[in-house]
Structure 1
Amino acid sequence: MTIYRTRAGLRHQFRDVLNFYYPDCIDTAVGGYVAQLDERDGHVYDARTKHLVATARGVHNFSLGVLADGPDWCRYAAEHGLRFLSNEHWDDDREGYDWLLEGRQTRDRTRHCYGHAFVLLAGARATQAGIPGGRAELERAFDVLEERFWEPDHELYADQATPDWELSAYRGQNANMHACEALLAAYEATGDERYLERSYTIADRFTREVTAATDGLLWEHYTAEWEPDLSYNEDSPRHQFRPPGYQPGHHAEWAKLLAVLADHRSEEWLLERARDLFDAAVELGWDDEHGGLYYTVDADGEPIVADKYGWVHTEAIGASALLSRHDESYGSWYDRLWEYSLEHLRNPRYGNWYERLTREHERDGPNHGPAVEPGYHPLTNCWLAMRALEAEPTAFE
């Protein structure tokens, strides 16, 4: 049996990612994390920038390490990051989380729902792991999301606001998807039904109602009235955060979230829609010539940006692992995705994952920037695959 079909093999993959970041990511001078490690050899290329999402993801990652019986230092690393998140990213005067810091000095106070969702996720996983302060951070982040971003008329979250909480007109899929993920984690951490209800509402509203306007596919960008903005950034196909087109990776990620929701809710549509979205991800996104999933495509599956991103494939791995518990055919995709990823996307020397390759699997640059994802996607989905194996000992066989 291949290593990724065993708990031991998945644990090895999981620990490799943690080991890539620790201890170099621990900022003992300023606090928090140094998240900007070069994906090729691990050298620090930016020791000062503190990005809200990177900080929250670090807390999440090391909390998962505690939950997965990882190295003893995971608890210390999670506690270290949570203190910085609580004390330095939080703006007490305006009651929100600052987006970008230079050391401890704020550089950008823009309020992003996406960032607040990751704080909620960090608080949830810290709570599960028994990290002091985790529950308080969970509740504070949820309160801000509800008071500042939630729009009852649309039953979805707004996307962005000024430092003083003036909402922008843009509405986005991505922030709501990660809010749904964080709310599910909050429910698993606390058993509080309000988190489960909110996550279910978002999933139902977005994946069944909003997507009806685009034939069931997940568009990324919307007006303030939640109408698809089909021309958004059409002149910027390589926009880092808001590219035009359909993203196969987000179809797989929503499939994963619906499969997790189905563990807690009995509605049949959850697994049906999860299968639909995963099937759409691979039907639209799989590159038959070079292998792997495209980054963005049009409605016919023609690639807009044909690059291969590490996070896309880890999300598809997590989704296929969960779906294979209900339909063994998804185990074939699980195998295929792992085989492709181990050949191309995982750093063979260190075990971390590359951010982006070209369609033909070339590396076109160092992928440096402040907005990094320090192992969050591979760790999350290795952990979910381990959970799938624990829930169903015969899964993938």
Structure 2
Amino acid sequence: MLSLPAFRQEVRHEFDRILQYWQTYSPDRQDGFYGRVDVRNQPDPSASRSMVLIARILWTFSLAYEVTRNPVHRKLADRAFAYLRSRFVDPKYGGVYWSVRADGFPEVTKKQLYAQGFALYGLSEYYRTTKQPEGLAEAQKLFRVMVDKAYDSKNGGFIEAFNQDWSDTDDYILSKGPLRKSMNTHLHLIEPITNLYRVWPDAEVKKHTKALLEEVFMEHIIDPETARMRLFFTEDWQARSPEISYGHDIEASWLLYETAEILDDKPLLQKTKDLSLRMATATLEGLNPDGALTYEYNPETGHKNEERSWWVLSEQMVGYFNAYQLSGKQHFLEKSLKSWEFIQKYLLDKERGEWYLRTDAAHHASIDADKITAWKCPYHNARACFEIERRIGRG
């Protein structure tokens, strides 16, 4: 088995390799960052630019500068911040657009809470690293409009999406049909609101951080019997889907514990620790002999999505390591190491850089899938490498 110092060294090398790829191939010479780069690293200058992708680039290079103090990383974080601020922030209604055209003009102007959350994640990390007051100011404005326009004061949590002017819509691209709340959006709301609380310990930010953990996740999203997350909900939190998303479950197992750590509430921290370990243990049902989690499973139909996804492998590497740290159980460490072994063997594009999007169950990589898209970004894999290095470094 790979030693912890060797594990740390290998993921740090991969962290640097990921950053090198993105600093080489993602910046558009004209403005901002490309919205699409193919598997041969050729950009599509005409592709739309997604808020989710730009926010994840902002988060990644902000984190990178904190770690490396490389001025190139600072320059790219500044570039991403300027691009987000000038092209994606809605000056009339507040919040951020879902996407802009390649020329920077608004394209999809709806207010998707998933995109608001990632913008907040990037902005708060940018301020955390650079201490630029403009970064915090933009994060504060975004948080306030999210709470003012999208918070459900009656049932808790946040409504999934709105029209540009924050009026009601029935277009929920991350939810099923007319359902107004989802696990995925709330997972990527607790993540940035927690990050904002790190840099701005405001009472209202703390209130929403704690409410998302205790009321939304512990009372509604996580099934108390199975320790798995339900995926889609009505406005009053009636679950409406049977699917199991193993990748999101293992991701949430460590992100929710991180939230409890930052809140620094000892009883809540112990409660979240117990839950985190239950969640990590529950995912073992979906773990394949090759060390990769099944992407998704529907117990009602028996349908199983057998793809091995780059982002799921990233999150399970961290989630199982977190479970090892919390429990001291060696088998969790072995599963984290086996995740890394799978990544190295099947997902790394050692010739052209970055990772393949997925493999099938027979480990055939998606050699024709784009390297950069609205959803293929540097956040899951760079963060996973950083987290493992950090956790081994602190013992």
Q: TM-score w.r.t. structure 1 length?
A: 0.87
Is the partner of 1:96 in helix, strand or coil?
coil
| Number of residue pairs the alignment of both structures matches | 375
Structure with more of its chain in helix, by fraction: 2
Residue among 359, 364, 371 paired with 2:374: 371
Distance apart, 1:292 and its partner CA: 1.3
Residue among 269, 272, 275 paired with 1:273: 275
Would the aligned equivalents of 2:152 and 2:158 in 1 still touch at CA under 8 Å? yes
Question: Counterpart amino acid of 1:223?
Answer: T
Alpha-carbon distance between aligned partners in 1 of 2:225 and 2:181, rounded to the nearest angstrom: 16
Aligned to 2:240: 229
In the alignment, structure 2 segments of 5+ residues that lack a partner are 171-177
Aligned to 1:238: none
In the alignment, structure 1 segments of 5+ residues that lack a partner are 231-243, 393-397
Once the two structures are overlaid, the 10-residue window that deviates more, 130-139 or 187-196, is: 187-196
Would the aligned equivalents of 1:15 and 1:70 in 2 still touch at CA under 8 Å? no
Question: Counterpart amino acid of 2:157?
Answer: L
Q: Deviations over 1:168-203 (max 9, x none)?
A: 452111111011111121122334454344222112
Would the aligned equivalents of 2:226 and 2:282 in 1 still touch at CA under 8 Å? no
Aligned to 2:316: 316
Alpha-carbon distance between aligned partners in 1 of 2:56 and 2:95, rounded to the nearest angstrom: 17
Distance apart, 1:36 and its partner CA: 1.9
Alpha-carbon distance between aligned partners in 2 of 1:161 and 1:367, rounded to the nearest angstrom: 31
Structure 2 counterparts to residues 46-65 of structure 1, below 5 A: 46-65=45-64
| Identical-residue share of aligned pairs (%) | 18
Across the aligned residues of Structure 1 and Structure 2, the Cα RMSD in angstroms comes to 2.3
Distance apart, 1:63 and its partner CA: 0.4
Alpha-carbon distance between aligned partners in 1 of 2:135 and 2:321, rounded to the nearest angstrom: 28
Alpha-carbon distance between aligned partners in 2 of 1:287 and 1:301, rounded to the nearest angstrom: 20
Distance apart, 1:261 and its partner CA: 2.3
Alpha-carbon distance between aligned partners in 2 of 1:174 and 1:108, rounded to the nearest angstrom: 20
Structure 2 counterparts to residues 145-224 of structure 1, below 5 A: 145-167=146-168, 168=170, 169=178, 170-210=180-220, 211-212=222-223, 215-224=226-235
Distance apart, 1:6 and its partner CA: 4.6
Structure 2 counterparts to residues 32-51 of structure 1, below 5 A: 32-38=32-38, 40-51=39-50
With over 3 angstroms needed to count, the CA separation of the structure-2 counterparts of 1:193 and 1:11, relative to structure 1, is farther
Is the partner of 1:36 in helix, strand or coil?
coil
Distance apart, 1:20 and its partner CA: 0.8
Would the aligned equivalents of 2:223 and 2:230 in 1 still touch at CA under 8 Å? no
Distance apart, 1:88 and its partner CA: 0.8
Once the two structures are overlaid, the 10-residue window that deviates more, 151-160 or 77-86, is: 151-160
Question: Counterpart amino acid of 1:247?
Answer: S
Question: Counterpart amino acid of 2:259?
Answer: L
Is the partner of 1:107 in helix, strand or coil?
strand
Would the aligned equivalents of 1:58 and 1:81 in 2 still touch at CA under 8 Å? yes
Once the two structures are overlaid, the 10-residue window that deviates more, 219-228 or 110-119, is: 219-228
Structure 2 counterparts to residues 67-86 of structure 1, below 5 A: 67-69=66-68, 71-86=70-85
Distance apart, 1:58 and its partner CA: 0.7
Question: Counterpart amino acid of 1:336?
Answer: K
Q: Deviations over 1:60-106 (max 9, x none)?
A: 01001111115320000010110110111011112221111112111
Question: Counterpart amino acid of 2:333?
Answer: G
Residue among 240, 243, 246 paired with 2:244: 246
Is the partner of 1:156 in helix, strand or coil?
coil
Would the aligned equivalents of 2:90 and 2:97 in 1 still touch at CA under 8 Å? yes
Distance apart, 1:274 and its partner CA: 0.6
Is the partner of 2:288 in helix, strand or coil?
coil
The answer on 1:10 being equivalent to 2:24 is no
Is the partner of 1:22 in helix, strand or coil?
helix
Alpha-carbon distance between aligned partners in 2 of 1:228 and 1:8, rounded to the nearest angstrom: 43
With over 3 angstroms needed to count, the CA separation of the structure-2 counterparts of 1:339 and 1:302, relative to structure 1, is farther
Aligned to 1:360: 362
Alpha-carbon distance between aligned partners in 2 of 1:114 and 1:352, rounded to the nearest angstrom: 25
Would the aligned equivalents of 1:21 and 1:37 in 2 still touch at CA under 8 Å? no
Residue among 385, 390, 393 paired with 1:390: 393
Is the partner of 1:44 in helix, strand or coil?
coil
Alpha-carbon distance between aligned partners in 2 of 1:316 and 1:303, rounded to the nearest angstrom: 22
With over 3 angstroms needed to count, the CA separation of the structure-2 counterparts of 1:365 and 1:228, relative to structure 1, is farther
Alpha-carbon distance between aligned partners in 2 of 1:385 and 1:245, rounded to the nearest angstrom: 29
Would the aligned equivalents of 1:295 and 1:308 in 2 still touch at CA under 8 Å? yes
Question: Counterpart amino acid of 1:14?
Answer: F
Would the aligned equivalents of 1:56 and 1:118 in 2 still touch at CA under 8 Å? yes
With over 3 angstroms needed to count, the CA separation of the structure-2 counterparts of 1:131 and 1:44, relative to structure 1, is farther
